[in-house]
Amino acid sequence: MLSDSKLLFSFLAVLGKKVTAAFDGGRLTSDGGALLLAMAERTMGICDALASCVADRRDRARRIHSVADIFKARVLAIACGYEDADDLDSLRHDPAFRLALGKLVEAGPGLASQPTMSRWENAPTTLELARMMKRMVAIYCASYAAPPAAVTLDIDDTCDVAHGCQQLSFWNGHYGERCFLPIHVYDTATGRPVAMLLRTGKTPTGREAAGHIRRHVRQIRRHWPYTHITIRGDGHYGRPEVMDWCEVNGVDYILGLTGNAVLRGDTVLAMAADDCAVRRALKDLPDLRCHAETCYAAKRWKRALRVVARIEACRAGMDIRYVVTSLTKPTAEHIYEKHYCQRGQAENLIKMHKGQLASDRTSCRSANANQMRLILHTAAYWLLWTVRQAMPDSAKLAKAEFGTIRLRLLKVGARIIETASRIRIAFASACPDADLFRQIALRLRAAPA
């Protein structure tokens, strides 16, 4: 029977001429930029690295697709905006995706289908997932040409609404949802992802948070033993267990701190708040911001620590935010405005990870399968990040979000022409970003594999 996609349909007539259409163009693709992603993947080798962590338990005589090719097809599809494995049933015959995986346009079987993708999302064991998480940290470290002198890692959790009775889903009263609260760790200064960990939908305890930080820092120090690490996070991570571990292991921290009656009654902070309110009133300003610091020791803390307060007086009242830090040299204003407030960029990266790469599609029942999805979406993040890094600094898209890069550089129409001796890709002549596309391709082509 004739496929529905090949049935004729019509549009409005143009100058008296009937306009008809059908999806029967043949070797055409709407995702010509997938070849850029393939070059980025070749440079990083991220899919081969992840595949090496998973044991292939299939009968060798019946294998058609390697584990690396299965992961690569899934990651490329996610980066191109096809977050559902169902789309692979059609994309497995797309000429650009076939070329991206090193296969000829029509010769041989199609790429892995949706059932194969789903099986491999559920295949890794907990131990294999742990290996993959370690490998992701190694990929982060390898993305630097040389170990940096210092890095600041932002750690934060985000609400990931559950879709049913799923392992690790938990009711969270703050969000009013049954959800997961996966932890995201980023090198915010460069936009690099470090680790993504699926976890239950309740706020992490101090012991749990310290355990996650300990594992990530130790893995990084295996690659960078002399790099100074600073941890930055909100009040969820301003726990004594986290601060104690950081101080013992030579890690600096800048963490949010929940206000309480003792801090509000602190003499130094109270005088600074009164002075701020008076100066705002005398100058009749809509608002006035100032900063102060004090030494404070909660009951569970081993010693008094430096606490910085951001004080904002306005006509509606007073708003005070607190930060606890191990840093001693910068001023209170510098600590809050130049250091702590930079963690807002981590929230932007999380939004991009979730909103533009659909990493919250954790709809599997198994927690392991959902963790696997989080890893695959992070691999897609890496490919898009690598494509953006290959752009000249002067390019209009050099700081663009992934959704914009996908729209302008990946969703490019092309005709694939295969002859006996070569394959030619004819991109749309009217592509507005043709010059940038060419520059990226040349830079990724020259990058060492």
User: Is the overall model pTM greater than 0.95, yes or no?
Assistant: no
Residues 72 and 53 sit within 8 Å (Cβ to Cβ): no
pLDDT digits (tens, 9 = 90+) for 37-50: 999 999 999 999 99
Residues 391 and 439 sit within 8 Å (Cβ to Cβ): yes
In this prediction, residue 62 carries a pLDDT of 86
In this prediction, residue 449 carries a pLDDT of 65
In this prediction, residue 5 carries a pLDDT of 62
pLDDT at 1 over 50: no
Mean pLDDT across the chain: 93
pLDDT band at residue 3 under the 50/70/90 scheme: low
pLDDT digits (tens, 9 = 90+) for 132-181: 999 999 999 999 999 999 999 999 999 999 987 899 999 999 999 999 99
Three-state DSSP at 320 gives: strand
pLDDT digits (tens, 9 = 90+) for 278-319: 999 999 999 999 999 999 998 889 899 999 999 999 988 899
pLDDT digits (tens, 9 = 90+) for 74-127: 999 999 999 999 999 989 999 999 999 999 887 888 899 999 999 999 999 999
pLDDT at 329 over 90: no
* Residue type present at position 437: F
CA distances (Å), 75 to each of 2, 38, 40, 71, 81, in order?
Answer: 31, 10, 12, 6, 10
Percentage with pLDDT > 70 across the chain: 98
pLDDT digits (tens, 9 = 90+) for 344-374: 999 999 999 999 999 999 999 999 999 999 9
Separation of alpha carbons 205 and 248, rounded Å? 19
Site of tokens 């404070």? 296
